[in-house]
Chain A
Amino acid sequence: MNAIEVRNLGKVYPGFELRNVKFTLPEGAILGLVGENGAGKSTLIRLIMGASAPSSGEARVLGADARSPEFTKIKDDIGVVLDEAHFPTSLNARQIGRVMADTYSRWDAGAYGEYLKRLELPEKKPVKDFSRGMRMKLALAAALSHDAKLLVLDEPTGGLDPMVRDEILDILEDFTRREDRSVLISSHIVSDLEKLCDYVAFLHKGELLLCQEKDRILEDYAMARVTEAEFESLPEEAVRGVRRGKYGVEALVERRLVNSAVTLERPSLEDVIVFFARGNRE
């Protein structure tokens, strides 16, 4: 079964349009949703979680249509972490635990307590006195303490220092050790996703430019660092993005379409994303 199936999903706002997004997240996999600020990542997550109505298309999550009434029950199997914790600010971690215990049918107070200890979160301090990192860790503890089958995370590591980011990524890796658990995580920090994800989807200005297995992306594409004359000899259809500098041309190319005589380098995921976003505009 697929954890998430998104078919031709669209949403129109004044001045912004999410267009015809299609992708699938297989059960047990981690999909990283990459895109610059304002690319539409949060809009897409709201649509997938049924929090917003699509202008077109549909999203199915754990087998249910996100717009259907039964999806409210399905959300019992989904853990959510948004870009800010969004908890009532005068409540403390213990009180939030009690609210969540009444929210989720399989809430595990023991697991929640363990996460609070592991993440060094005080139980009696109000959330308003937490740092951003502490709030995100609290949101993660709440999302992981009810035996969720799917985690949906919207920019969980944005604005955090590298130590906290690393801690959060470690916890997510632990979560996915069980094969039936899936994760959809959005971020504009590509290095975080490179560490964690099986699949990468790249959203740019409301359009999904790329959605593939991460390893496949790194195999299929390559960086060509060449002179202007060599660049001109590359087949036009092979070039996915280009940057011209003083000392030559850097181009992201589709490996299979380029003559083997050209020296190609393995790209980083960040190279692929950046060059896809640049396109052939120069």
Chain B
Amino acid sequence: MKALLRKDLYWICTQLKLFLVMMAIFCALPGGNFLFFGVLYSVLLTTTTLMSLDETSKWEVLALMLPYSRRQIVAEKYVLGWMLLAGTLAVSVIFRLVWWAVGIAEPEGADFLAVLCVYAAVALLIQAVVSPVNFRFGMTRGRILSITFIAVTAGVGAALFVSSPEAAMGVARAMGSRVPVFVLPLLAAALSAASLPLAARGFRKRVEK
């Protein structure tokens, strides 16, 4: 696992420096809109970009012949995703504290933490969906399937909202009043962890066929 993490950190430092800079900028900008991209990308970096690089360089073929288990190969991508997500959240909190201290932004306190919780939950949910698909089908087909899934889910949600906005808002309000916002990322993290065995099984099926 340590070797795989080191390999991916080298990939990021040598090939994806620009993305790290962009993520830091998104985390640093005041307001929550750009922050979402920073948080989201921390997970997509591992589930799509690094997996694409592994496939293109055929590292996957070699990795299967080195002393790593298939489960380790899959789990490393999850762990790195979680590490990057935690790092992104920490960086964004630090920047907020600095902006408040120097008076660039108004203190947002609990609201900002609630926004972070929702963003982290969304990022982890996307990881839980995209990772098993990409490990099972490889990046070329996996990317198409993941985008289709996300687009259809968002489309259905939007259609429900447009067709009956009051009912949709009612459901959202009811959920919001019953589930504290900080529980959302914990639920999403549990879902993400639960998707790991599924991703490992999918990966085994793809590489062993």
Contact = CB atoms under 8 A, between A and B. Distances in A.
B67 A88 contact: no
A51 B65 contact: yes
A80 interface: yes
A193 to B, nearest CB: 21
Given A86-B59, A99-B3, A102-B3, A51 B14 contact: no
B143 to A, nearest CB: 20
Interface string B142-185: 00000000000000000000000000000000000000000000
Given A80-B62, A99-B6, A88 B207 contact: no
Contacts, number: 76
B46 to A, nearest CB: 14
Interface string B43-57: 000000000011001
Given A99-B3, A100-B3, A89 B57 contact: yes
A224 B207 CA distance: 47
Given A98-B6, A99-B6, A99-B7, A88 B68 contact: no
Given A86-B57, A87-B57, A100-B3, A80 B65 contact: yes
Contacts of A103: 3, 66-68
B69 interface: yes
Interface string B24-66: 0000000000000000000000000000011001110110111
Nearest to B2: A102
B11 interface: yes
A103 B69 CA distance: 12
Contact of A91 (B2, B3, B14, B66): B14
B65 A102 contact: no
A90 interface: yes
B11 A88 contact: yes
Interface in A71-123: 72-73, 75-76, 78, 80, 82, 84-91, 95, 98-104
Contacts of B54: 88
A49 B6 CA distance: 24
B53 to A, nearest CB: 7
A21 interface: no
B207 A52 contact: yes
B58 A84 contact: yes
Given A52-B208, A102-B3, A88 B65 contact: no
A69 interface: yes
A51 B61 contact: yes
A10 to B, nearest CB: 14
A158 interface: no
B3 A87 contact: no
A82 B208 contact: no
Contact of A75 (B3, B6, B67, B207): B67
B58 A86 contact: yes
Interface string A50-64: 111100000000000
B100 interface: no
B67 A51 contact: no
B112 interface: no
A126 interface: yes
A91 B65 contact: no
Interface of B: 2-3, 6-7, 10-11, 14-15, 53-54, 57-59, 61-62, 64-69, 207-209
Interface of A: 46, 49-53, 69, 72-73, 75-76, 78, 80, 82, 84-91, 95, 98-104, 126, 152
Given A78-B65, A86-B58, A88-B10, 10 more contacts: A51-B61, A51-B64, A75-B67, A86-B59, A87-B57, A89-B57, A90-B15, A95-B14, A102-B3, A103-B67
Top 9 A-B pairs, shortest CB-CB distance: A102-B3, A86-B62, A51-B64, A90-B14, A53-B208, A75-B67, A103-B3, A90-B15, A86-B58
13 contacts: A46-B65, A49-B64, A51-B64, A51-B65, A72-B67, A80-B62, A86-B58, A86-B61, A88-B57, A99-B3, A102-B6, A126-B14, A152-B65
